[in-house]
Structure 1
Amino acid sequence: MSTRRTFIRQTGALGALGMLGTPTLAGSGFRESPQSASSSSRWPDGSRLVVSVSMQFESGGQPDNAESPFPQNMLPGFRDLPAATWYEYGYQEGIPRMLDNWDELGIKVTSHMVGAAVLKNPDLAKEIVTRGHEAAAHGMNWRSQYSMTYPEEKAFVREGADAIRKVTGFNPVGYNANWLRRGDNTLKILKELGFKYHIDDLSRDEPFITRVEGQNFAVVPYTLRCNDILLIEGKNFSADQFAQQVRAEFDQFYKEGATRRRQLSISFHDRIGGTPQMVKVTHDLIRYMQQHEGVTFKRKDEIAEVILSEP
């Protein structure tokens, strides 16, 4: 049986698509470039599959009574103290444990940092960068920015990035909105503030280029399928079930990687992915991946540089 790609080539559908031109997305301030539609390219460094790990640094920046495993039944005017300790676990235990795991595995990750969390735990934020990981921006706090006015949103993004820059000395070039919910102005604001990429996109399994104000801007897709907050907290997966799902995704991507560019994204949150059982299964999972020829681990700023440097 021929593959979908072979079928498209044989029927000339690819050429027909090219005649349609590239669509402009109304109200978004950007459009896809022609080269972003290509799925047949390979990684220029010869990688068969690139794995990109996210480590969300959010705890300490959450509002009072933020969503937690505890029932959302607190009376008005009271603070959910046990829930606050659940978040505290993220910076007391979770991130330090994950950092040791990344070192032992010999990989570097991207840490999406909430500005308020960085200011509350500056030494930990600095340690993440000192140990060779990328600091990416994740807003100043947990506010949703899609409903902000243009000036409000720009100040919000700038404040969060400035907190990272001031504390760690790292200049963030990547961005992740709260629950990926950017607004119509977000990409234009990111471009104006010197960012190079964002991750708030689930449309593809490879990075691509979009046009923002007439210039190239990178999209390094995120994941919900391999995301601990969705699977562990949202769907009550066990650590083993999480690892099984990610491994299945890896196996399929590795197969596809023989003929096309593939990126496997995995996301861990400080108070979830940093628990002992999650770190253990993650260690075993990544060792499994490292046994496969042509698998490389890249930070998201590295991935963005790869595709921005291509013709």
Structure 2
Amino acid sequence: MALQTVDHVAVSLDAPNVDPLQGTKYDFKRDLVGYGRDSIHPRWPNDAKIAVSFVINYEEGAERSLLNGDGQTESVLWEQPHVPDRIGSRDPKIESDYDYGARVGVWRLLNMFEENNIQTTINAVGQALEKNRPLAHSLVAGGHEIASHGYRWIPYHNMTPEEEKQYMLRQMQSLKATTGTYPSGWFVGRCSSHSKALIHEVHEELGVPLLYEADCFSDDLPYWADVPAEKNTDQPKGMLMLPYSYDNNDLKYQIAPGTWGSSGAFFEYLKSSFDVLYAEGLKGRPKMMTIGLHCRISGKPGRFAAVQSFVQYVQQQPDVWITTRKDIALHWHTTFPYVRNNAPLDSIVNELKPDVPKVDNLVYARI
């Protein structure tokens, strides 16, 4: 192997894979080809030109805190992200900023979406929802999808697989208790290299169907991934990856660089993303757009205005499917069923009838 030095570190031009998890059940493969230049037609219901989903991340009360048994306070995604962690003591400022999301922000967002007949996907942290039962009841009554965002809103990459799995099992039981059903979709967020395999394992052990996993950002459409643990099984199910978004996301208000300097900047970015994807849909290659929101961020009045304006803009456009992540996943399972080894979808698409499915019980904008 040819060696060279880069930044005083010896590297090899032909270095082998040094991932310690290679060949194990955790070794999900990367796919750098995807659907290719021409992509595929997703056949959205009613011939929609774009599928749009709004995601509210509900994390408040489950962040790092001495009250939750942690040795430090949370330090990210609040109004003063430059303030360092407090080790061994509480920080009332951070706690109260998170509290705003639970007490006020989430209701402001939910009221607006429900007034516009939009069902959202709630990425719910189990412990957070346990501490706000009125919210859990309202989410169920409003018909919103409740997906899993982990039992705690903490980093999982330093845990053993066994420890992380216990958090997942607790999360499944927690959401079952607060909402009446198990989650069918996951977005861990602060995930580990074990997370996807453990999610698959937990759902298999509990006998609960897993519709999708969203800890990915690699496409504008859902795609199937082979599950390493199913390598030698006769009837593999695969794992549907439903890409999330960190670019169409209000978290950039509170991280640098790239911070949204104003609600107007956030709105303009969302509008630009929508316009590009919508134009691609008009050309015969519809896509999916996901907007990530946080109650303590976009639930604040000044930032809320951007979300409200974007909702109004989207609803003025024809042939837009505004829906939940779960319904997108259900559509994909039905329209593009899993084929092992990421077999090309062209043959599947060509066999499909040209007519698109008709769905009456989902929310559309001017269809």
Q: Same fold (TM over 0.5)?
A: yes
More displaced 10-residue stretch of structure 1: 207-216 or 247-256: 207-216
Match of 1:280 in 2: 305
1:119-146 deviations in Å (ceiling 9; x for gaps): 1111112211211101111111123233
**Whole-angstrom CA distance in 2 between matches of 1:75 and 1:133:** 36
Q: For residue 291 of structure 2, what is the amino acid of its counterpart?
A: I
* Pairs aligned (count): 285
1:157-196 matches, cutoff 5 A: 157-183=168-194, 185-192=197-204, 193=206, 194=208, 195-196=210-211
1:189-236 deviations in Å (ceiling 9; x for gaps): 35425322111000001111222223232111100111111x211143
Instruction: Tell me the C-alpha RMSD between the 2 structures.
Output: 2.3
1:265-305 deviations in Å (ceiling 9; x for gaps): 10001100111122222111111111111111111111111
- Are 1:199 and 1:220, in contact at CA under 8 Å, matched by a contact in 2? yes
1:218-237 matches, cutoff 5 A: 218-229=240-251, 231-234=252-255, 235-237=258-260
**Whole-angstrom CA distance in 1 between matches of 2:157 and 2:213:** 15
Q: For residue 295 of structure 1, what is the amino acid of its counterpart?
A: V
Identify which of 269, 274, 289 aligns with 1:245.
269
2:119 counterpart of 1:108: yes
- Are 1:143 and 1:178, in contact at CA under 8 Å, matched by a contact in 2? no
Q: CA deviation at 1:29?
A: 4.7
Match of 1:42 in 2: 42
Q: For residue 272 of structure 2, what is the amino acid of its counterpart?
A: A
Q: TM-score, normalised by structure 1?
A: 0.84
Match of 1:10 in 2: none
2:89 counterpart of 1:88: no
SS in 1 for 2:238: strand
**Whole-angstrom CA distance in 2 between matches of 1:118 and 1:221:** 24
Match of 2:216 in 1: 201
% identical aligned pairs: 27
Q: CA deviation at 1:187?
A: 4.6
SS in 2 for 1:62: coil
Identify which of 292, 296, 308 aligns with 2:317.
292
- Are 2:157 and 2:190, in contact at CA under 8 Å, matched by a contact in 1? no
Flag the structure with larger Rg: 2
Structure 1 residues 75 and 256: CA distance shift in structure 2, 3 A: closer
Structure 1 residues 135 and 273: CA distance shift in structure 2, 3 A: same
SS in 1 for 2:226: strand
More displaced 10-residue stretch of structure 1: 144-153 or 50-59: 144-153
Match of 2:358 in 1: none
- Are 2:212 and 2:241, in contact at CA under 8 Å, matched by a contact in 1? yes
**Whole-angstrom CA distance in 2 between matches of 1:49 and 1:186:** 32
**Whole-angstrom CA distance in 2 between matches of 1:175 and 1:182:** 15
More displaced 10-residue stretch of structure 1: 125-134 or 139-148: 139-148
Match of 2:18 in 1: none
Q: TM-score, normalised by structure 2?
A: 0.72
Q: For residue 57 of structure 2, what is the amino acid of its counterpart?
A: Q
**Whole-angstrom CA distance in 2 between matches of 1:112 and 1:126:** 15
Q: CA deviation at 1:263?
A: 0.3
SS in 2 for 1:145: coil
Q: For residue 158 of structure 1, what is the amino acid of its counterpart?
A: L
Unaligned runs of 5+ in 1: 1-24
1:5-27 deviations in Å (ceiling 9; x for gaps): xxxxxxxxxxxxxxxxxxxx854
Q: For residue 214 of structure 2, what is the amino acid of its counterpart?
A: I
Structure 1 residues 221 and 134: CA distance shift in structure 2, 3 A: same
**Whole-angstrom CA distance in 1 between matches of 2:274 and 2:192:** 26
Match of 1:69 in 2: 79
Identify which of 243, 268, 271 aligns with 2:293.
268
More displaced 10-residue stretch of structure 1: 134-143 or 67-76: 67-76
More helix per residue: 1
